[in-house]
Structures are given as C-alpha cells and as structure tokens.
Amino acid sequence: MREARELLDRPVQGREVNLKRLVVEIMVKSDRQSQLVRRTGLSGAQVSQSVQELVKDGVLEVDAPGSGRARGRVRLSRMRGVAVGVDVGFNHISAVARPVGDPHDRIAVRREGSGANIGFRRLLPSVLRLVREAVEETNQGMADVVSAGLAVPRMVDPRTGRFTTPVLPPWETDDDPAGELAAELGTPVVMDNDANLGALAEQTYTSEEAVEHVVYVKASTGVGIGIVVGSNLVRGRRGAAGEIGHLTIDPNGEMCLCGGRGCLDTLVGSESLLAKVKQSQRGTARDVPNTLAELVLRAHNGDAVCVRVLNDAGRVLGFALAQLCNLINPHRIVLGGELADARALLLEPCRQELDRYALAGAVARAEDFDLRTSTLSPLAEAQGALILGLRSRSSK
C-alpha cells in the first residue's frame, strides 16, 4: 500500500506543484473533474492532464470514466495515511479522523464535554486521547497521521497562526494550542477560528453545485461567522473578519467581554439566554436549565419561557444577519452551533427579521438566497479543521 506521507513530504517545484495541489484536494474530497477545476483554481486542461498522469502513476483512479471535464469522480488509490481535525470549544472537544483515501463522510469521531474554559494545558491530555482513539478506529496508528487542523473560538491571525490581540478569555496572550498539540502529535498543526472552519466544511462538503458565497454562523457560548467566497476564507488582515458577536446591537446594553456595550453576544450568547430563563422563574422553586442544550430541549418539549427566549434570540440574530446580507449579499447562510439545535424555533423568527430588515433583492428569491441549519453539526468545525490541515500540505 502506498504511503500518503511520501507524496505530501516530497519537495516539489514547477508543474509538480499543481500535481500536489490536485492530490491534496482529492484527499479533502473525491470529486468530478469539473468541480476540481473550481476547487483548485487550475484550468480544465491542467486538471485533465494531471489526472491522466496521476492515474498512470497509480496515485488516482477515475470511477466510470467518460469524455469531457465532467467525467466520473476522481479518487485516491488505496493509500496509508490519516487526516485529523480537532475542535476545541468553550465546553467541548471534538476530534475526527479519516484515512485520506476514504469518502469525506466516513469519519471516526470522538467527543467530550470538557473544553477550553478549564485551560488548554489541562485539556491537552484529553485532546490527545480523543485523537488517538479516533485514529485507532480507522485501523491505522498515530505514526500514520499526515495532517492536523485545530478549530478554536477566538480570532486567529492568518499571517502568524497565533491568536489576534486582544486575546479574550479563556485564552492567554502566550497560549499556543497549535504548537503544543503539534509537539505531542509529531506533525504540524494549523489553527483557525471555529466559525471560519465551519464555513469551510459547509462549502466543501454539503453541496455538489458551486455555491460561491457561504456564511456559517456558529452560535453557542457566543456568536461568530465564517465567510467563504469561492474556495477562499475571508479572514481579514488580522483574522478579525466575521466577529459579528461584537456587532453593537444596543449601544446602552450590557457590558461585553470585549469591552463594548450591547454586543450581539450579550443578547444571544448562551449565558444571556440562560439568565433570561432564570429571571422568569424568580420567586419560584422551579429548577432552571444550566446549559444551552437543556434550554433547547425544554423548548422542544413545550416550555413556554424557553420557547420565547429562543424565538427572541432568532429575531435578534435575524436583525444582525440582515445587516450582513446588505453588506455582502451571500448565497447561503448556515446556522450551526448549539443554538441551531433549536431548528424552527430559531430559524423561523430569524427568517422573518431577514425579510423585514434586509434588502428584498438580497434575500427574497429562493434560487438566490438560502437560510438553513447545518447538516454537519456538531462536527462542522472539526471537519473544517481536517480540511485546513490537509490544504496546508499543498504549500509544503
């Protein structure tokens, strides 16, 4: 069996760079040649010629070959090597692992309830254990890990791969979770914001057609968005793009962790929603939900207060997203994170406010605009981290 590491570690130059880029994209997701043209940025002739060469070398196979660019799906030949993606949230860890030649949806998954709130150094042994268990489920070993990506709920500077200042809790300025994880795994680890990577996964894995403008909304402890245009993440110069949670909604509202007032996070973040439920029960002995998941479950079971809290959250979120639609006119907005588990309780009022406050040309026509909940949740961020890790090998 061929070793993926041999292909990824081999220095390349000239036209070999295109061959490597194509192989990495097929590791991310097997696809038709027409889609590989879009995803790689190579010309149709370059993709066709590269596929022929790599098939001849035994690196690739083509299912049901035919004529033209839209011939059958191109996939990797049998190969040893595992790609890993890790999502470290405030209150959870998710680890996914997949042999590079397997279909993109055939992943080994491990999840745990502790998260960054306890500090990454304390969390690291649990992260490593979950990664090891996921890799072993693929019938390969840690020595076969060829790439790794890490999703975190904070701004990451795309130039340095480190946190962008100001570094907000639970992180500290000198924290380097990617570096610490890489030292333990023995392979480079690349890091990005969790909403960015959720957007990357949604754009790559959930649509066969070319959806050029995708916004992914990560709504849990706080709210952030990832923006993908074409196959490119919009990170901004210092990684601060998409920080919609710190968009001011109420200038006289509550103080936010960032130092602002009335930020979206203070209105629809999990602590705010739980506080609203608790306030409604003042003077009673009734127990209240302690987590966002409990709040959502009670709402689905008909709790009137929890239903109202989620409906109101959907309206506030819809107002904020309407401003976004007027600015960048996305084709698709995908709601992810724990809050998206509310489904219609959140989605319907959100859509109502979009219709009310966004330009009709941005959201009215179904063929031009789509609002949905994530089908990859709760693993969108970890899946995006896996993609990031693999793509980082294209340039090395």
> Model confidence over 126-179: pLDDT tens digits?
999 999 999 999 999 999 999 999 999 999 999 999 999 888 888 988 899 999
- Count up the domains in the chain and report the number: 3
How much is the pLDDT for 12? Answer: 80
Does 88 lie in the same domain as 63? no
Scored b (16 or more CB within 10 A) or e, 317-355 reads bbbbbbebbeeeebbbbbbbbbbbbbeebbbebbbebbe
Residues 259 and 356 occupy one common structural domain: yes
**Which of 48, 76, 104 is at the close of a domain?**
76
**277 and 192 in a common domain:** no
If asked whether residues 263 and 230 sit together in one domain, one would say yes
CB-based contacts of 255-258 (< 8 A; 24+ apart in sequence): 257/168, 257/169, 258/166, 258/168
CATH number for 352: 3.30.420.40
User: Looking at the structure, do residues 24 and 156 belong to the same domain, yes or no?
Assistant: no
Span 233-264, pLDDT tens digits: 999 999 999 999 999 999 999 999 889 999 99
Boundary residue ending a domain (15, 49, 76): 76
Residue 208 confidence (pLDDT): 63
- Beta-strand runs (E) in the chain: 2-3, 60-62, 74-76, 79-80, 82-88, 93-99, 108-112, 145-152, 189-193, 213-219, 223-229, 232-233, 332-336, 370-373
pLDDT in tens, 108-135: 999 999 899 998 999 999 999 999 999 9
**Residue 205 falls within a domain, yes or no?**
no
Inter-residue contact 30 to 72 (CB < 8 Å) = no
What pLDDT is attached to residue 70?
Answer: 45
pLDDT of residue 102: 94
Q: Is residue 2 over pLDDT 90?
A: no
What's the pLDDT tens digit per position in 183-235?
999 999 999 999 999 999 999 998 766 677 899 999 999 999 999 988 789 99
Structure confidence by residue, pLDDT tens digits, 321-377: 999 999 999 999 999 999 999 999 999 999 999 999 999 999 987 778 999 999 999
The boundaries of the domain holding residue 126 are: 81-200+380-395
Selection from 385, 305, 393 nearest residue 98 by Cα: 385
| pLDDT of residue 67 exceeding 70 | no
Q: Are residues 121 and 192 in the same domain?
A: yes
For tokens 């491990």, the residue is 110
Assess whether 155 and 85 both reside in one domain: yes
Considering the chain, what percentage of its residues have pLDDT values greater than 70? 97
On whether both 46 and 190 belong to a single domain, the answer is: no
